[in-house]
């Protein structure tokens, strides 16, 4: 012993240091869990939005596949209570094809099960109409369709809504596509 001072070496960690490290580690793990939840929610929202986009493109394809129905005005104002015309196997008129397109697009059928907006999206619903101002409307019942031509041309608004958060107090999400056949 030099100069009368005894030097002691520490061995290991104290219990306090271990508990502090454990608390810091736990807070970090809670942050990671929250980040994982946020990422999963974002992925689900993107998935639903992609399905809505596919549904819009499906409606646009149906409109473009029936040019006679478009020129006759059969897609101008489809009724939300449209049902299966029952003529697909035997041959339909352009007006009946327009009704079938709208019906199967919104509800699906036994030939194409699970393809309608109601099956694809949470509380999904859609409308196809003439609309000079397509970026309005809060639901199929209150679609905001004005039936107006755009520069003398039939320009359809395909609008789709779905309940993104499951809360009836909040507005439904909406996607809109303009279709010029």
pLDDT at 82: 74
**Could you give the CA distance from residue 160 to residue 29 in angstroms, rounded to a whole number?**
39
pTM for the predicted model, two decimal places: 0.77
Q: What is the pLDDT of residue 78?
A: 77
- Domain map (residue ranges) of the chain: 15-179
Give the pLDDT confidence score for residue 79 in this predicted structure: 67
DSSP the chain: --TT-------S--HHHHHHHHHHHHHHHHHHHHHHHHHHHHHHHHHHHHHHHHHHHHHHHHHHT-HHHHHTTTTTB--TT----S-TTT---HHHHHHHHHHHHHH--SSSTT-SHHHHSTT-EEEEEE-SS-S--SSSTT-------BTTB--EEEEEEE-SSS-TTSPPEEEEEEE--
Predicted confidence pLDDT, tens digits, the chain (181 residues): 556 677 667 666 688 888 999 999 999 999 999 999 999 999 999 999 999 999 999 999 999 999 999 999 898 877 666 777 888 888 889 999 998 888 888 887 666 666 788 788 998 888 999 988 888 888 888 888 888 888 888 899 999 999 988 888 888 899 999 998 8
| pLDDT of amino acid 178 | 93
């Amino acid at each position: 012993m030099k100069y009368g001072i005894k030097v002691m070496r520490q061995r290991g960690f104290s219990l306090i240091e271990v508990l502090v490290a454990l608390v810091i580690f736990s807070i970090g793990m809670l942050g990671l869990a929250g980040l994982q939840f946020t990422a999963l929610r974002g992925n689900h929202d993107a998935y639903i939005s992609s399905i809505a986009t596919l549904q819009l493109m499906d409606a646009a394809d149906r409109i473009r596949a029936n040019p006679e129905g478009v020129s006759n005005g059969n897609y101008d104002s489809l009724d939300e209570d449209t049902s299966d015309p029952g003529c697909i196997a035997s041959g339909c008129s352009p007006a009946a094809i327009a009704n079938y397109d709208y019906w199967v697009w919104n509800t699906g059928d036994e030939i194409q099960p699970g393809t309608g907006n109601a099956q694809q999206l949470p509380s999904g619903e859609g409308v196809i109409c003439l609309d000079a101002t397509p970026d309005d409307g809060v639901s199929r019942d209150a679609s905001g369709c004005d039936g107006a031509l755009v520069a003398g041309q039939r320009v359809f608004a395909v609008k789709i809504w779905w309940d993104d958060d499951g809360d009836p107090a909040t507005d439904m999400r909406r996607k809109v596509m303009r279709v010029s056949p």
